[in-house]
């Protein structure tokens, strides 16, 4: 009887040892995965945005800006340029809307805001010129 119990316990110990071994492997791989240098999504996105800008696809830049703003009102780290370009695009777009609506006060306030935003664009200042041109020439 006791011999049988010993045999069963030995089998259970072997199974538990295998389980313990896999638990250790699991923990190591999880910690390893966490510490592994992950691909920075902001960096990847910057590449995508530059590609879009090279093709003057500001509509897509605007869509990225709006999508990002669904979760963050202020630019998260790495998305500052997107937010500046997006805000410039929206502001420049709305100037013509307010002018058409006859709200000169708002239009001039936005014109002033675009100047400030343009100053903040830095190396992306050319995007403001390109977006202004597209907006001016629309439709």
Q: List residues near other proteins by CB under 8 A.
A: 2-3, 5-6, 9-10, 12-13, 16-17, 19-20, 23-24, 26-27, 30-31, 33-34, 52, 55-63, 66, 69-73, 89-90, 93, 96-101, 106, 131, 134-135, 138-139
In the bound state with other proteins, the residue whose beta carbon lies nearer, of 69 and 111, is 69
In the bound state with other proteins, the residue whose beta carbon lies nearer, of 13 and 48, is 13
Non-local (6+) Cβ contacts of 46 within 8 A are: 78, 81
In the complex, the smallest distance separating the C-beta of residue 132 from other proteins, rounded to whole angstroms, is: 11
Q: How many angstroms separate the CA atoms of 123 and 127, rounded?
A: 9
Non-local (6+) Cβ contacts of 9 within 8 A are: none
In the complex, the smallest distance separating the C-beta of residue 13 from other proteins, rounded to whole angstroms, is: 5
Concatenate the DSSP letters of all residues of 17-55 into one string.
HHHHHHHHHHHHHHHHHHHS-PPPHHHHHHHHHHHHHHT
In the bound state with other proteins, the residue whose beta carbon lies nearer, of 60 and 80, is 60
């Amino acid at each position: 009887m006791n011999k049988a119990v010993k045999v069963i316990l030995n089998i259970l110990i072997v199974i538990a040892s295998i389980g313990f071994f896999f638990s250790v492997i699991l923990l190591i791989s999880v910690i390893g995965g966490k510490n592994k240098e992950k691909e920075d999504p902001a960096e990847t996105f910057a590449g995508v945005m530059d590609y879009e800008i090279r093709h003057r696809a500001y509509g897509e830049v605007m869509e990225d800006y709006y999508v990002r703003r669904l979760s963050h009102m202020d630019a998260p780290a790495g998305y500052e340029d997107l937010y500046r370009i997006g805000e410039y695009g929206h502001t420049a777009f709305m100037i013509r809307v307010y002018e058409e609506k006859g709200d000169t006060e708002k239009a001039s306030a936005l014109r002033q805001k675009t100047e400030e935003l343009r100053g903040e664009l830095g190396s992306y200042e050319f995007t403001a010129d390109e977006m202004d041109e597209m907006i001016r020439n629309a439709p």
